[in-house]
Amino acid sequence: MNNYDVIIVGAGTAGTYFAYLLGKRGLKVLVIDKDKEKDLAKRLDIFHFTTESFARFNLPESKAGDEEFVSKFSYIYSRSALDNYEKKNFLEVSVMHLPLFIKRLRNKAIKENVEFKFATEFKDLIYDAKGRISGIETKDEKSYNARLVVDASGIPSVVRRVVKDPYMETFPIGPRDKFYVFLKYVKLKDPNIKIDMSLSWPYYKSWIAPQQNKDGAIVGVGANISVDYARKCMKKFEDSIKLPAYDLQYEEWGATPYRRPPYSFVSDGFLVLGDAACLTQPFNGEGITAAWVQSTPAADVVANALKDDKYPTKEALWPINVMYQTGEGALFAGQRALLVGAVNMSKEDNDYLYANGIIFKSDDEEVKGSVAGNLIKGVLKGKFSFAALRSLMGASSTGNKLTKHYKNYPTSPEKYFAWKKKADRLWKKAGSMADNVKDAD
């Protein structure tokens, strides 16, 4: 019989890790994915994962000899738009192969009796006699029953977008709502140069970082609108910043959501997580740990909601909303609004921020005076534009209001729509990173 407690659509990092957590709690879980197992997550190879995250999410740290492990570094650096200032921060990071890391997660889930079906594509939801979600139908005309369906399908959000509930937003994640990540794997011409840490230029949304070969590197950029526009941004970056000479090996590209998440992640018999829920970090677009912050406590809520053969109602799942939106959701809402204002400035403005430790600062850097005071001082000295000051202070104000509003997220569905109405007004005022794109044509 095709009967399960939980069906998860999507076998990437979000869906597989959540399946593992639910399996550990004794639930019968099925994970489906439209890709064949051998093709899963093959679009992007190398990714970075902090040492802290292994401990935070109760995973043994990858080490030399593990098939997914490549290398490890301990510091990240960033530089200003004119390349005049550099910041250094301690962060232990493992460089790994993403497909093999997911394979490792999948093996852990299988040990917890989680079932996986590949080359199996979601078609539609199934409803019971009461009109409640009760499973899925796949495109090979098979039906699978479950009390809870989870959308971890990534950017396509194939399940979330067909949920019939005014509490569930069904927006598509379009070109303005994501960063297209364009990566160049390169071999450095000078054998004495080694890229053994991550170095970024936030003004250009670009970076250079380690890859699997010690004599190589990854040069990357993120941009709204399209891969072609990301290529254009890459050229602007390399025309402005002198990188080590290299020979191109190959290219990769993908996308990550970059917009606010849905206001609610739950409905009767339904939960959305990962990229399908737009859970990514504002400063770098990283989505693995951002999703796991939501799903780790969610596993306990789900297990309790399904206890004693109960049907998981919206009300029973609502604590997932409250825990995320009042925590990471509130923090990221403020940061996302601030960054919209921070990128709307000149290279000289960006250099001034670096010179004075505003937004960007090293671990051991002491900054004297307030942010507002230092910005005003820069305007008076002609080193920071008034337009940038106005943009940054306005974005900061809106971001603070968003953070405060998210911390007051309703503890039950009753007050949701009033809360949503105010949130809509604040996000409209905050704008989008894509609003700053002027040269995409």
Same domain, 342 and 297: no
Given a cut of 80, is residue 436 above it in pLDDT?
no
Same domain, 105 and 219: no
Q: What is the pLDDT of residue 341?
A: 86
Given a cut of 70, is residue 1 above it in pLDDT?
no
Whether 323 is covered by a domain: the verdict is no
Whether 9 is covered by a domain: the verdict is yes
Same domain, 192 and 112: no
Report the candidate in 270, 332, 323, 267 with the shortest Cα–Cα distance to residue 294: 323
Q: How far apart are CA 336 and CA 430, in angstroms?
A: 9
pLDDT band at 335 (very low <50, low <70, confident <90, very high): very high
Q: Percentage of the chain surpassing pLDDT 90?
A: 87
Q: Which residue has the tokens 């997932």?
A: 320
pLDDT digits (tens, 9 = 90+) for 202-234: 999 999 999 998 999 999 999 989 999 999 999
| CATH number, domain with residue 231 | 3.30.9.10
pLDDT digits (tens, 9 = 90+) for 263-308: 999 999 999 999 999 999 988 778 899 999 999 999 999 999 999 9
Whether 209 is covered by a domain: the verdict is yes
Same domain, 236 and 287: no
Strand, coil or helix: 258: coil
- Residue 100, domain extent: 3-74+89-173+259-317
Last residue of a domain, one of 257, 292, 308: 257
Q: What is the pLDDT of residue 441?
A: 62
Same domain, 345 and 305: no
Mean residue pLDDT of the chain comes to 94
Whether 322 is covered by a domain: the verdict is no
Last residue of a domain, one of 241, 257, 273: 257
Total tally of structural domains belonging to the chain = 3
Whether 214 is covered by a domain: the verdict is yes
Classify residue 235 by its DSSP letter. Answer: H
Whether 326 is covered by a domain: the verdict is no
Same domain, 163 and 296: yes
Q: Are 197 and 218 in contact (CB under 8 A)?
A: no
Helices (H), 262-307: 288-305
Q: How many CB atoms lie within 10 A of CB 29?
A: 27
In degrees rounded to 5, what are phi and psi of residue 200?
A: -120, 160
Same domain, 16 and 103: yes
Same domain, 29 and 57: yes
Same domain, 58 and 158: yes
pLDDT digits (tens, 9 = 90+) for 164-179: 999 999 999 999 999 8
Same domain, 95 and 224: no
Q: What is the pLDDT of residue 344?
A: 79
Same domain, 117 and 266: yes
Same domain, 304 and 422: no
Partnered with residue 22 across adjacent β-strands are: none
